Chains A and B, each alone.
Chain A
Amino acid sequence: MNKRNIVLVSIVVVILIVICTITGTYAVVINVINENGTDKIVNEIDIIDLVTNDDGTYNDTYYSVKNELDITESEADLLITSIPLNKTLDDILKSVIEYKLHNNNEARYSNDELCSMIEDAINKTTTLSTQLKNKVLEKLAYYKQDVSDYVYDIEVVSLGDS
Chain B
Amino acid sequence: MFFLFFAILICVIILFTLIKNKLLALKIVSIVSLSSGILVLFVGYLSKIIIEANVNVINTNKIVNLILNKFLISSAIFLIISIIIYLIYVLLKRKKASKKI
B71 contacts chain A at the CB level, 8 A cutoff = yes
Residue A28 interfacial (CB < 8 Å) = yes
Q: Is B54 an interface residue (CB 8 A)?
A: yes
Decide if A141 is an interface residue (CB 8 Å cutoff).
no
Extra inter-chain contacts (10) besides given A16-B8, A27-B74, A31-B70, CB under 8 Å: A1-B19, A24-B39, A24-B43, A25-B43, A28-B74, A45-B58, A49-B60, A49-B61, A52-B59, A61-B57
Contact flag A45-B19 (CB < 8 Å), given A20-B8, A21-B40, A26-B4: no
Residue pair A41, B1 in contact (C-beta under 8 Å): no
Flag if A54 contacts B11 (CB, 8 Å).
no
Of the residues B20, B32, B58, contact of A1 by C-beta under 8 Å? B20
Q: How many of A's residues come within 8 Å of B, CB to CB?
A: 37
Chain B interface residues (CB < 8 Å from chain A): 1, 4-5, 7-8, 11-12, 14-15, 18-20, 28-29, 32-33, 35-37, 39-40, 43-44, 50-52, 54, 57-63, 66-67, 70-71, 74-75, 77-78
| Closest residue of B by beta carbon distance from A35 | B70
B12 to nearest A CB, angstroms? 7
Number of A-B pairs, beta carbon distance below 8 Å: 106
In the bound assembly, the distance between CA atoms of A20 and B61 in angstroms comes to 28
Enumerate A31-60 residues with CB–CB distance to B below 8 Å: 31-32, 40-41, 44-45, 48-50, 52-54, 56, 59
On whether the beta carbons of B15 and A159 are closer than 8 Å, the reply is no
CA distance A9 to B14 in the complex (A): 9
Q: Bound state CA distance, A1 and B77, in angstroms?
A: 31
B50 CB to nearest chain A CB (Å): 7
A23 within 8 A of B: yes
Does A19 count as interface, using CB distance less than 8 angstroms? yes
